[in-house]
Amino acid sequence: MALSEQIKLLSNAKIIISSHGAGLTNINFMKKKSHVIELTPILSDFDNFRFPFWRMANLLELNYFCLFCDRTNFKTDEYESDILVNLKEVSNLLEKIIS
């Protein structure tokens, strides 16, 4: 997707759901008070996880939520493992945001 398309898409989004990764830097284009839901794997070194996108969202005045997901198809780099998303948790969170 071209940068101009990404900007247009994110600037009109009220809620985005994304897995942890560099693509979340596009929240820079969202309007204040929009909602960001990050799906992140539960890591073995969780105590050192710094929540970079929470910090970014906070500075941009976005509402940030993080859902922790179990990993599957384990890779050496934990961030490259697939994640199992609990759809009930996502649904419950979306209901809270929308209401």
Instruction: Give exposure, 65-95, as e/b (b: 16+ Cβ within 10 Å).
Output: bbbebebeeeeeeeeebebeeeeeebeebee
pTM: 0.85
Round to whole Å and give the CA distance between 78 and 71. Answer: 8
Reported as a single tens digit per residue, the pLDDT across 35-67 is 999 998 876 666 556 688 999 999 999 999 999
Percent of the chain with pLDDT over 70: 86
Reported as a single tens digit per residue, the pLDDT across 61-97 is 999 999 989 888 776 666 677 889 999 999 999 999 9
Round to whole Å and give the CA distance between 25 and 21. Answer: 8
Contact (Cβ atoms closer than 8 angstroms) between residue 12 and residue 33 = no
Round to whole Å and give the CA distance between 2 and 98. Answer: 30
Query: What is the amino acid identity at position 49?
Result: F
3 state DSSP class of 2: coil
pLDDT at 75: 66
Q: What is the mean pLDDT of residues 18-26?
A: 90
pLDDT at 52: 87
